[in-house]
Structure 1
Amino acid sequence: MEPKPNNAQHNFQMHFGSRQKSVGGQVVMGIIFVIVGGGLLLDAFNILEFWPLVSTWWPSALMIIALTKLATRSGSLLGNGILFAVGALLQLGRLDIIDGFWHAFWPIVLILIGVSMLVSRKKNSQPFAMNNETFGGGEGLPYEQDRLTTSAIFGASETRVTSRNFQGGEITAVFGGLEIDLRSAEIQGNLAVLKAMSVFGGIELKVPPHWTILVKGTPILGGIEDKTNRFRDPNVIGPTLVLDATVVFGGIEIGT
């Protein structure tokens, strides 16, 4: 029987894995900056008309971000799928291959929602206990599981986490809103990772005042606002919650 890793080993593995994903994101952003800078330089010397290229091909950036997050297992399958679909449909529209973004968008969204539900049911033997999906609106009961998996699609959902050993999880808001209350939760180790994706939606996250929040992610036509630092006592050392966030046409607000 193999020995179980201690808390220090577990925290190192979580931190190292999180750092690997962060480095991957930095590489992608670095490549984007190099391409944009090089294009602007060529445009300045009248070698290349850069802005017409950007105007035509910018939706491909959404597709690249979605594929990168899928490859690094960052964010949810549903959220990344919708992000890729948005980029693909916008790109096809810019290339005049299809006419009418919204005509094709909604059927694809419904297909992705259905696939996500089937995948969640297959992965979890108790899907309704481990995966709380809300369509059209709802108010969740106290959530006692150690890992949080919840989503709001075309509606709103409230979840109050009461786990004594919170280990993170995945939350997704697609054309809807999520309110996650972690103020009654506890992190037994030093670190927990929560993946959050907001696509045309909003997420409000409430955390204990002694937690340290580390936000990773780059909003695209959206925003991430962390209001916890103004209330946190610097003399109190608490656990760290890493928020691995993807925001597209949406917003995430973190408070206490």
Structure 2
Amino acid sequence: MTVLFGLLLVINRSRRQQRRRLEGDASGEIAAAAIFGGDSRRLVTDTFTGAELITIFGDTMVDLRDSDIRSRPAIIETVTVFGDTEIRVPDDWTVRVETLNVFGETIDRRPRSAGRGSDSPPDLIVTGVTLFGETEISD
């Protein structure tokens, strides 16, 4: 019962934040939660700063291909439990992955290009935990 109450608090908090952001929050941030469901977002901004993505028994997709980063690096924090989180980024972004994977995986499915060197500073850092699920980065 306590776990259910905690999940309801998280869901209600994220829905309030989601409504505010959809009504014109110019902060360049995304907060998305998909618990036993799905959430799909497309962000068009030149001031992206980061995101918090929670996926539990669901699917979350965030499309940043029409966005740019205000101050590099932007940070996306993910929690994926028994679900799938997909992050779509422009093909010229350098992404560094710093996730903990337990019976799950984080995959960068973007084709390698000459413009993405390992010594270049990242445009985006993806952090978080993937437990029995998948976090995918694509373009």
TM tier relative to shorter chain: 0.7 to 0.9
In 2, the alpha carbon distance for the partners of 1:213 and 1:248 equals 21
- Give the conservation status (yes or no) of the 8 Å contact 1:220–1:247: yes
1:204 aligns with 2:98: no
Secondary structure class of the residue paired with 2:75: strand
C-alpha distance in structure 2 between counterparts of 1:146 and 1:109, whole Å: 31
Give the conservation status (yes or no) of the 8 Å contact 2:51–2:75. yes
Equivalent AA in structure 1 for residue 93 of structure 2? W
TM-score (norm 2): 0.83
Larger helix share, 1 or 2: 1
1:162 to 27, 44, 68: 44
C-alpha displacement of 1:157 = 1.5
Distance 1:240 1:127, change over 3 A: closer
Max Rg structure: 1
The C-alpha deviation readout for 1:132-160, integer Å capped at 9, x for no partner, is 8xxxxxxxxxx965011111111112100
Q: Which residue identity is paired with 2:6?
A: L
Report deviation, 1:201. 0.9
CA deviation map 1:166-206 (0-9, x unaligned) = 00020110110011111011012221111011011110111
Matches within 5 A, 1:1-256: 107-117=1-11, 119=13, 128-130=19-21, 145-228=27-110, 230-234=111-115, 240-256=123-139
Aligned AA (1:242): I
Q: Residues 217 and 184 from structure 1, CA distance in 2 versus in 1: closer, same or farther, beyond 3 angstroms?
A: same
The CA deviation at 1:232 is 3.3
Structure 2 regions of 5+ residues with no counterpart?
none
Q: Distance in 2 between matches of 1:183 and 1:238?
A: 19
Q: Which whole-Å CA distance do the structure 1 matches of 2:107 and 2:19 have between them?
A: 31
User: Cα RMSD over matched residues?
Assistant: 2.9
TM (norm. structure 1) is 0.47
* Counterparts in 2 of 1:215 and 1:238: CA distance versus 1, 3 Å: closer
Percent identical residues? 27
SS in 1 for 2:76: strand
Q: Secondary structure at the match of 1:113?
A: helix
Kindly provide the amino acid, as one letter, of the partner of residue 175 in structure 1.
Answer: F
Post-superposition CA distance 1:68-95 (Å, at most 9, x none): xxxxxxxxxxxxxxxxxxxxxxxxxxxx
